[in-house]
Amino acid sequence: MLGVTPRTRGRIVFGIVVLGLLGLGLGYAVGMMTRPQGVELGVERPPVAYATDAMQADGQGNSAAPGIPGWRDLYVNDYADLLDDDAETRIRAQLEELYEYTGVEMTVLTIARRSDYGFEGTNEAFATRLFNTWGIGNAEANDGVLILVSRFDREMRIELGAGYGSARDDDMQWVIDEYFLPNFRADRYQIGIEQGVEGTIREIAGVSPGQYESSTLWRGFSTIGRGLESLGGWLWGLLLVPLGGAAWTFRRWLRYRPRDCGTCGTRMVLQNEDVDDAHLSGGQRLEEFVRSVDYDVYECPSCNRMEISRYPAWFSSYGTCPQCDYRTMSSDTEILEAATTTSTGRKRIDYQCHNCKFTDSEVRTIPKVSKSSSSGSGRSSFGGGSSSGGGASGSW
């Protein structure tokens, strides 16, 4: 940092290091608080005894158990047609992943109304009876989760297995109030179910879908980001505007700060764009032309010493050429063989440097297209778990 005294430079570096350590510490602490935690031990509720012959459904979702629908899928049974095929696939993949990493059986059921199955009781009684009839969750841990949406009854329920403590009821109520009900009241059922399933997974597993193998630090930063997002777009704006302005101001200060000549100590002068091109090489001028790099040229008015500073663009489609070392290389991709669910594919990437005309090509493998299973992880039935009526409810 020319033009800055060693003491000031040391203070700047120290401040940056302290802020970085504080950020890492905060992220790690939040990550530890949100680590996967599974079912609480030692607080098991006594299960309610219902018939445990979990019945599979016929084509209409009916089962032999009176007053209770059967299941056709271990993860999503959308009998009320609230989800399109893509949404079902996304939800099923998240619930399969939850089971693979934690062993928790979570299932989603939508129905038109309880009376369609001859049930005349409350939504809570219906959910508990259905949970125990299907046998959701591990028989020993009783860690199953049922998300039930009854569209025309305008009621929903998150039913928990008997192995969860009563504190989990409040967590589930928060998920219902935060994600499900606001969308349901606006007839956005699919959005509400997808957001609600993700929220339920986060509360149960301690991580978001797709982050089971993430580091503690990454989980912490993700949680902080979701917390800020939940504050609302307007508050995001209030936070980002001053933070973005401060970052932009600091970056401009670093770039355009006064600097002294390293030879004679005279204050150097920044040259304008028309003048500084005369001091740049052809590759440097091309980098400025394609906007991959910007250059500043400073000249000492006393001894004519020149100083050139390089500022790479944050976002650019151009890469650095391995031959001339200028950031003037572009790439084009051509699919040679498309990937399928049974075989990998191939693609060719062609590189060309617009400065030295260097060219290169490479062929890469395209992974197989993933195909979800209707009974992921090799399961063919629920695990025989039971519920004693714990969970939370909502209506709209």
Residue 23 has pLDDT above 90, yes or no: no
CA distance 69 to 146: 13
Model confidence over 56-104: pLDDT tens digits?
554 445 554 678 899 999 999 999 999 999 999 999 999 999 998 888 9
Residue 355 has pLDDT above 90, yes or no: yes
Query: For residues 379 and 106, is the Cβ–Cβ distance under 8 A?
Result: no
Amino acid identity, residue 288?
A: E
Kindly report which listed range (19-23, 111-115, 250-254, 348-352) carries the lowest average pLDDT score.
19-23
Model confidence over 299-325: pLDDT tens digits?
999 999 999 999 888 778 888 999 999
pLDDT at position 12 is 61
CATH number of 39-214+387-395: 3.10.310.50
Model confidence over 265-280: pLDDT tens digits?
999 999 988 788 888 9
Distance of CA 65 to the CA centre of its chain: 40
Counting other chains too, the contacts that 188-192 makes at CB distance below 8 Å and 24 or more residues apart are 189/82, 189/83, 189/110, 189/149, 189/151, 190/82, 190/83, 190/84, 190/87
CA distance 174 to 391: 11
CA distance 61 to 93: 22
Question: Which tokens hold the place of 22?
Answer: 């504080």
